[in-house]
Chains A and B, each alone.
Chain A
């Protein structure tokens, strides 16, 4: 397949150009049909912003892949990826427009995860984590469904400030592309690279002031989905090869930051007696803004943290057991987030005390 080398470059380029060219046009439509995010008390923007990012990335990546004739011959192999992400995209678009109930969203996500499992994409082993390797089929099912749903949600929640979800997705897809290229899985590599191309185009608008667009739930859901499902596929492909450890630690390194952050947030909310899905301002990016960082700097800090965790994961994976690596990552993350949480708590109390001090009615 000599054509692959060319398509590896051409397809991403087409996707990039398409996003850059088509976005202004779709922005105008979005304003007309009111497909925008309006400011409210939890949001940090003051004007309505089109929510077309996810749609643009999906549309342009699909067109690019079709034009470069990557998909057609091997459609079978990646059909679960494309079908699942299409379902989540549509669900996300509807949610962005009319706000679906959390329970309905969860059921759809679970359904998609079950579909993935049924198409043979699953977690087949614990790879020595906690000393466990082989697991019975029922656990494969449960684990696969939980990890897919959990990661998709986590990624969805990480989309809070400019450039963050896009940046995290680019890091993930870049690492996955490298694994795919090393394993000579050109189909995967060109898929990931094409999404990266589209994401770069998206980021140009997402980070701009005048022509800003958001990814929307649509974007974060489907990108999270592709990340976690292709992560599982890469692990499956590397099973029983010497590369399994490296693949595994890369996939863990890519997904761990949004996942443990959302677990932390859920745990905090449940601890306080609220629903885990109650919206608040306690995600990592909120905590960083509490340090009085500008949004772009906060994004940069999280992206750098994500890269550090990723490299650490790969590095530790080489030398320690998988269990030790995960414990190390969790430990690091909990220290960072604990300090940041305390910082936020301080800001909160500072405000309350200020009110107390200046309260004249007694």
Chain B
């Protein structure tokens, strides 16, 4: 038997995971696939000091690159990881597009297979300035063009890549079954008295993109309903402004970030309503986790959230919608929504399922020579010739994203 296929996972901060979505994903890929594949994970030397570094972790080899995995340094971090991986691995699984400028070289000069996860429409996010947006916009193009397979984490992102590049993105979301269902103890109830009453809960970065203001303004009008919101309130003027403004509202409780996973799960797992205000492109791990906890979800009405929840959650577009939802949704409906979320999460958002999808791609990519395009070649033919042959319909092909219009 030939040795195991060598897979490099590039672009996360590293494992053991203590950070965000990509790191949790990497950890669970290692968990589920290390028996099947020879996995190397590239980790940030900046986040793992020398004494904490490991050679292997759960059967995966670890390599440390002395740069930050996020921010400007990620451009070099990813590129160096890619360069290193080209000599050692058969398949490069790249998370994020920051280092994609290396991919044309990899594709032209080596036979290594590239799978890239483009992680939402990152270039569009408000938090980046214009130059960064330009770079990410370009990097995404290169990433899709020079990869063998690209991965979207949401059906709407798949529509977008199909429209822009004609590429058929594979949809792989995130798992959520690492989330703990915690019953609050007496101590928790003393620390957080609101636990004994029904409350709505939201956790997010305090940014306009997450509709923090809409949610707060809705609950200012709803004095009988308690809102608990966890986030980095002191990091921005925006956050400080709202913290000040909400001081006089007894029903609004603003908490600083909670790093104790058990405590956070105790609070969010027992919420009466889970509010998800994220509007940025893609499937958000936090939404998937809330679904796994079987919470009744009220989500901001963008296609990403609707696809993630299979259109079965409750949706709001502004504070007025939210006020109506909170006031008028019956207990039965909330319970029903919670059960449906639970069902979807168990079916789609377990790491086992996600890992199987990745391994299927690893197998598929080994035999791929050329990346396909969803547009048929007839689209490039001359319209006049096609008309003369009475087959001009071939010029105007309907794609899967068209039915939605």
Contacts and interface: CB of A to CB of B under 8 A. Distances in A.
Contacts of A352: 160, 163
Contact of B404 (A343, A346, A361): A361
A342 interface: yes
A362 B404 contact: yes
Given A349-B164, A353-B124, A343 B303 contact: no
A360 B123 CA distance: 23
Nearest to A348: B164
A313 B210 CA distance: 50
Interface string A346-359: 10011011001111
A339 B124 contact: no
Contacts of A356: 156, 159-160, 163, 303
A134 interface: no
A350 B123 CA distance: 9
A243 interface: no
B138 interface: yes
Given A342-B134, A353-B160, A359 B124 contact: no
B123 A346 contact: yes
A361 B311 CA distance: 11
Contacts of A362: 303, 306, 311, 404
Given A349-B164, A362-B306, A339 B404 contact: no
B156 A343 contact: no
Nearest to B300: A357
Contacts of A357: 156, 279, 281, 302-304
A358 B303 contact: yes
B37 interface: no
Nearest to A355: B405
Contact of A353 (B121, B133, B404, B405): B121
Contacts of A343: 130, 134
Interface in B300-323: 301-304, 306, 311
A318 interface: no
A344 B405 CA distance: 24
A130 to B, nearest CB: 31
Interface string B145-177: 000000000001001100110000000000000
A342 B404 contact: no
Contacts of B404: 359, 361-362
Interface centre among A343, A357, A361, by most B CB within 10 Å?
A357
Interface in B363-405: 404-405
A345 interface: yes
B134 A339 contact: yes
Q: Is the interface of B mostly helix, strand, loop or mixed?
A: helix
Contacts of B163: 352, 356
B300 to A, nearest CB: 10
B133 A346 contact: yes
Interface residues of B, number: 23
B137 interface: yes
Nearest to B137: A346
Interface in A121-145: none
A359 B303 CA distance: 7
Interface in B91-143: 121, 123-124, 130, 133-134, 137-138
Contacts of A359: 303, 404-405
Contacts of B301: 358, 360
Contacts of B302: 357-358
A350 B311 CA distance: 24
A353 B122 CA distance: 12
A85 B302 CA distance: 57
Contacts of B303: 356-359, 362
B138 A342 contact: yes
A349 B161 CA distance: 11
Interface in A264-288: none
A301 to B, nearest CB: 16
A173 to B, nearest CB: 36
Contacts of A349: 124, 137, 164
A352 to B, nearest CB: 7
Nearest to B306: A362
Nearest to A357: B302
Contacts of B121: 353
A197 to B, nearest CB: 41
B137 A353 contact: no
A359 B163 CA distance: 15
A356 B134 CA distance: 21
Nearest to B401: A356
A292 to B, nearest CB: 10
A249 to B, nearest CB: 32
A343 B156 CA distance: 23
Contact of B137 (A345, A358, A360): A345
A358 B304 CA distance: 9
Contacts of B134: 339, 342-343, 346
B124 A350 contact: yes
B158 to A, nearest CB: 11
A339 B163 CA distance: 22
A18 B60 CA distance: 84
Contacts of A342: 134, 137-138
Interface of B: 121, 123-124, 130, 133-134, 137-138, 156, 159-160, 163-164, 279, 281, 301-304, 306, 311, 404-405
Given A346-B137, A358-B303, 15 more contacts: A339-B134, A342-B137, A343-B134, A345-B137, A349-B137, A349-B164, A353-B124, A356-B156, A356-B159, A356-B163, A357-B281, A358-B301, A359-B303, A360-B301, A362-B404
9 A-B pairs with least C-beta separation: A357-B302, A357-B303, A362-B404, A346-B137, A359-B404, A356-B156, A356-B159, A342-B134, A353-B121
29 contacts: A342-B137, A343-B130, A343-B134, A346-B134, A350-B124, A352-B160, A352-B163, A353-B121, A353-B124, A353-B160, A353-B281, A356-B156, A356-B159, A356-B163, A356-B303, A357-B156, A357-B279, A357-B281, A357-B303, A357-B304, A358-B302, A358-B303, A359-B404, A360-B301, A361-B404, A361-B405, A362-B303, A362-B306, A362-B311
Interface of A: 339, 342-343, 345-346, 349-350, 352-353, 356-362
